[in-house]
């Protein structure tokens, strides 16, 4: 945790309210996001219990598994969820723009112009917390390999085609959520924690209601008191007044209310199987009771997620959001194309090359999002300045100077900046001008820490002439910020194709024995 974040947390404790960590919005928020609140069954890892979803806060739609241990009921639930979610995911596939690019023919080196489709917009799923993301990943993994009636060997329990399709989408979205700065699938607790500090620990912030309590504590209560109420207050019947945001449910709710309701459902079903006269009515009643119970548990979190969206939407968007959202749109378009091309589902585990590629991409994006947030938001830049990785100040002097080593002299002006920051600016260190008219590098040539004066020699971004282009240099009196970090991530080194995996990494995966990938270890 950075010094500034720690300070904001201390301030939140003192003021009793959440304190801002950002002046702009740092993640893209869609106009029509799909809010999705999943619940899991306590008994079995990743077993779904219910989900509440929708794009309209007034009209959440509920799907439940009345008997979570019954695989048939689970299959019905997954089919219903797929019916509900897939149309939303597909609705962005048709509207595209055409992007022109050029491709080099590897053999001849000849360049050809290519056009690729890029979807104009992409879906966005908002879930309450990181646990929900993990739950969706498990659902994706459990469904994307399901065999369907169309398979050559459909097996005894073929699933509707849309179920493995749902699994592939969920897998894609949860994988994409691992990429720093991506916005296709976002947990609300993470979004809020990026933009505001509360006076509680990061672990406590995982409880959505408790984190939100710091934003709107009821009159007379501090954020900490309100958060504690949200976590622990119970009604006279022993139920939590504010149920946890899931995917796990409150054990006492499971024991006292959920289990008896499921037992009544089981009894009604058994009766129906035996052909008792009123069984259908009882069964419908039992399902109705379960739906009612679960809706009561889910609704408070549903409201919380939308309240969180309200808070975030009040922030002005950061300058680089559109650029990062474009990467998300490419990601969405790419998956759309893979589905259309009939490619097989994502493998159970990545091969060595794919894993290395994904890690390289995530590291690149981590750098990019860190730099872009600093450029978009003075508060984010302040963190870097406090860490000695950047300095802001006012230009006090601009002295023309030239590099005369070449045939024609090149401008290498000396810029002196007065700053109260204390950067780790060793002599000779390369610095980068933030938010200038063009990318501009400079080199530290003098640093008088006592007087707060840093002199840098500007080495590029001044045009090609003998004198610097007008407007390319900051003038005396002008505020300026230089960073010690580069403003764009480094390109990642090329990796071999999976089929060229070297001996150090076990050789090509296609040559390896297939047994492990076909059957699960525990099956």
Partner 1 sequence: MSLLTPPTPPSPAAAADAAVAAILAATVHPAPGAPRGVVVDSPPGAGKSTLVVKAARELVAAGERLMIVAQTNSQVDDLVDRLAAKGTELTVGRLHSGEARPAAEALRHPNVTASSKPADLLELDVVVSTAAKWQWVKDVEPWRHAIVDEAYQMRSDALLAVARLFERALFVGDPGQLDPFTVVGTEQWSGLSYDPSSSAVVTLLAHNPAIEPHRLPVSWRLPASAAPLISEAFYPFTPFRAGTGPGDRLLLPGTRSDGSAVDATIDEAAEYGWALLELPARHTVRTDPQAVAAVAALVRRLLDRGLVASSEQGRVPLTAGRIAVGTAHRDQAAAVRAALGALGVPVDPVAGPAVSVDTANRLQGREYDMTVVLHPLSGRPDATAFHLETGRLCVLASRHRHACIVVARAGIPELLDEHPAGDPVQLGSAMRIPAGWEEKIGGQVIGLLERVGAQFPDGWEANYRVLQHLAEHRVRGS
Q: Which stretch binds partner 1 (CB under 8 A): 23-31, 33-41, 284-292, 496-504?
A: 496-504
Q: How far is the CB of 39 from partner 1 (least distance, A)?
A: 23
- Interaction of residue 503 with partner 1, rule CB under 8 A: yes
Tally DSSP H helices, then E strands, for the chain: 14, 17
Which alpha helices (H) appear in 314-425, and where do they start and end?
A: 321-340, 352-376, 378-386
Residues 484/314, Cβ–Cβ less than 8 Å: no
In the bound state with partner 1, the residue whose beta carbon lies nearer, of 251 and 502, is 502
Q: Which residues in 65-123 belong to E strands, given as ranges?
A: 96-104, 111-119
For residue 21 the two structure tokens come to 């960590």
In the bound state with partner 1, the residue whose beta carbon lies nearer, of 227 and 352, is 352
Measured in whole angstroms, the distance separating CA 208 from the mean position of its chain's CA atoms is: 16
- Interaction of residue 502 with partner 1, rule CB under 8 A: yes
- Interaction of residue 479 with partner 1, rule CB under 8 A: no
| SS (HEC) of 139-168 | HHHHHCCCCECCCCCCCCCCECCHHHHHHH
Could you say which residues in the range 420-439 bind partner 1, by CB under 8 A?
A: 424
What SS3 state is found at 284?
helix
Q: How far is the CB of 27 from partner 1 (least distance, A)?
A: 17
For residue 105 the two structure tokens come to 């023919």
In the bound state with partner 1, the residue whose beta carbon lies nearer, of 100 and 521, is 521
In the bound state with partner 1, the residue whose beta carbon lies nearer, of 338 and 358, is 358
Residues forming a β-bridge with 186: 126
| Nearest Cα to Cα of residue 88 among 181, 158, 173 | 173
Could you say which residues in the range 341-370 bind partner 1, by CB under 8 A?
A: 349-353, 355-356, 358-360, 362-363, 366
In the bound state with partner 1, the residue whose beta carbon lies nearer, of 237 and 497, is 497
In the bound state with partner 1, the residue whose beta carbon lies nearer, of 260 and 496, is 496
Could you say which residues in the range 1-40 bind partner 1, by CB under 8 A?
A: 3
Out of 108, 236, 405, 504, the residue judged to bind partner 1 by CB under 8 A: 504
In the bound state with partner 1, the residue whose beta carbon lies nearer, of 317 and 507, is 507
Out of 148, 252, 495, 508, the residue judged to bind partner 1 by CB under 8 A: 495
Could you say which residues in the range 384-413 bind partner 1, by CB under 8 A?
A: 387-388
Q: Which stretch binds partner 1 (CB under 8 A): 114-122, 143-151, 207-215, 494-502?
A: 494-502
- The total of other beta-carbon atoms located within 10 Å of residue 347's CB is 12
Q: How far is the CB of 227 from partner 1 (least distance, A)?
A: 21
Q: How many residues bind partner 1 (CB under 8 A)?
A: 31
| Cis amide leading into 247 (omega within 30) | yes
| Nearest Cα to Cα of residue 391 among 406, 401, 381 | 381
- Give the largest CA-CA distance in the chain: 102
Out of 496, 499, 510, 517, the residue judged to bind partner 1 by CB under 8 A: 496
- Interaction of residue 180 with partner 1, rule CB under 8 A: yes
In the bound state with partner 1, the residue whose beta carbon lies nearer, of 304 and 389, is 389
- Helices 162-176 and 321-340: crossing angle in degrees, nearest 10, is 150
Residues 206/180, Cβ–Cβ less than 8 Å: no
Could you say which residues in the range 77-96 bind partner 1, by CB under 8 A?
A: none
Q: How far is the CB of 355 from partner 1 (least distance, A)?
A: 5
- Helices 352-376 and 321-340: crossing angle in degrees, nearest 10, is 150
Q: How far is the CB of 505 from partner 1 (least distance, A)?
A: 5
Could you say which residues in the range 234-293 bind partner 1, by CB under 8 A?
A: none
HSE-CB for 391 with a 13 A CA cutoff: 24
- Interaction of residue 443 with partner 1, rule CB under 8 A: no
Q: How far is the CB of 262 from partner 1 (least distance, A)?
A: 30
Q: How far is the CB of 84 from partner 1 (least distance, A)?
A: 28
Q: How far is the CB of 180 from partner 1 (least distance, A)?
A: 6
Cβ burial, residue 349 (10 Å; 0-12/13-18/19+): exposed
User: How far, in Å, are 198, 221, 384, 390 from residue 504 at the CA level?
Assistant: 47, 61, 39, 41
In the bound state with partner 1, the residue whose beta carbon lies nearer, of 200 and 269, is 200
**Residue 261 CB partners (closer than 8 Å, separation 6+):** 286, 289, 290, 293
Q: In angstroms, rounded to a whole number, what is the distance separating the alpha carbons of residues 235 and 192?
A: 28
- Interaction of residue 452 with partner 1, rule CB under 8 A: no
- The total of other beta-carbon atoms located within 10 Å of residue 137's CB is 19
Q: How far is the CB of 357 from partner 1 (least distance, A)?
A: 9
Positions in the binding site for partner 1 (CB under 8 A): 3, 178, 180, 349-353, 355-356, 358-360, 362-363, 366, 387-388, 424, 493-496, 500-507
């Amino acid at each position: 945790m950075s010094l500034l974040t720690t300070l904001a947390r201390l301030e939140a404790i003192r003021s009793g309210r959440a304190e801002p960590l950002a002046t702009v919005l740092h993640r893209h928020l869609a106009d029509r996001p799909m809010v999705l609140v999943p619940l899991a069954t306590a008994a079995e890892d990743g077993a779904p219990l219910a989900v509440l979803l929708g794009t309209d806060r007034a009209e959440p739609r509920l799907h439940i598994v009345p008997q979570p241990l019954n695989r048939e009921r689970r299959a019905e639930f997954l089919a219903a969820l797929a019916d509900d979610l897939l149309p939303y995911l597909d609705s962005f596939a048709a509207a595209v723009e055409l992007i022109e690019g050029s491709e080099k023919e590897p053999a001849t080196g000849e360049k050809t112009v290519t056009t690729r489709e890029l979807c104009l917009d992409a879906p966005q799923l908002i879930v309450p917390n990181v646990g929900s993301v993990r739950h969706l990943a498990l659902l994706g993994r459990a469904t994307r390999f399901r065999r369907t009636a169309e398979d050559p060997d459909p097996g005894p329990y073929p699933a509707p085609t849309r179920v493995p399709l749902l699994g592939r989408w969920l897998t894609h979205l949860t994988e994409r959520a691992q990429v720093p700065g991506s916005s296709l699938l976002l947990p609300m607790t993470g979004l809020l924690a990026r933009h505001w500090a509360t006076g509680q620990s990061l672990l406590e912030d995982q409880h959505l209601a408790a984190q939100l309590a710091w934003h709107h504590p009821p009159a007379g209560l501090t954020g900490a008191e309100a958060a504690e109420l949200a976590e622990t207050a119970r009604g006279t019947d022993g139920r939590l007044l504010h149920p946890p945001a899931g995917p796990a449910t409150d054990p006492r709710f499971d024991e006292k209310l959920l289990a008896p309701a499921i037992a009544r459902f089981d009894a009604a079903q058994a009766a129906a199987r035996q052909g008792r006269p009123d069984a259908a009515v009882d069964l419908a009643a039992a399902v109705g009771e379960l739906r009612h119970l679960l809706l009561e548990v889910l609704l408070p979190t549903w409201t919380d997620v939308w309240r969180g969206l309200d808070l975030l939407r009040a922030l002005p968007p950061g300058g680089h959001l559109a650029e990062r959202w474009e990467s998300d749109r490419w990601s969405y378009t790419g998956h759309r194309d893979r589905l259309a091309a009939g490619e097989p589902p994502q493998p159970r585990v990545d091969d060595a090359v794919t894993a290395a590629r994904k890690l390289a991409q995530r590291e690149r994006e981590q750098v990019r999002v860190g730099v872009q947030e600093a450029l978009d938001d003075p508060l984010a830049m302040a963190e870097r300045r406090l860490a000695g990785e950047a300095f802001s100040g006012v230009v006090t002097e601009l002295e023309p100077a030239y590099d005369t080593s070449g045939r024609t002299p090149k401008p290498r002006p000396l810029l002196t900046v007065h700053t109260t920051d204390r950067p780790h600016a060793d002599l000779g260190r390369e610095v980068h001008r933030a938010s200038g008219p063009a990318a501009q590098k400079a080199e530290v040539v003098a640093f008088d820490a006592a007087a707060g004066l840093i002199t840098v020699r500007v080495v590029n971004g001044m045009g090609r002439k003998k004198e610097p282009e007008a407007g390319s240099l900051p003038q005396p009196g002008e505020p300026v910020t230089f960073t010690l970090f580069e403003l764009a991530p480094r390109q990642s080194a090329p990796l071999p194709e999976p089929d060229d995996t070297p001996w150090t990494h076990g050789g090509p995966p296609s040559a390896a024995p297939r047994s492990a990938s076909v059957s699960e270890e525990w099956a």
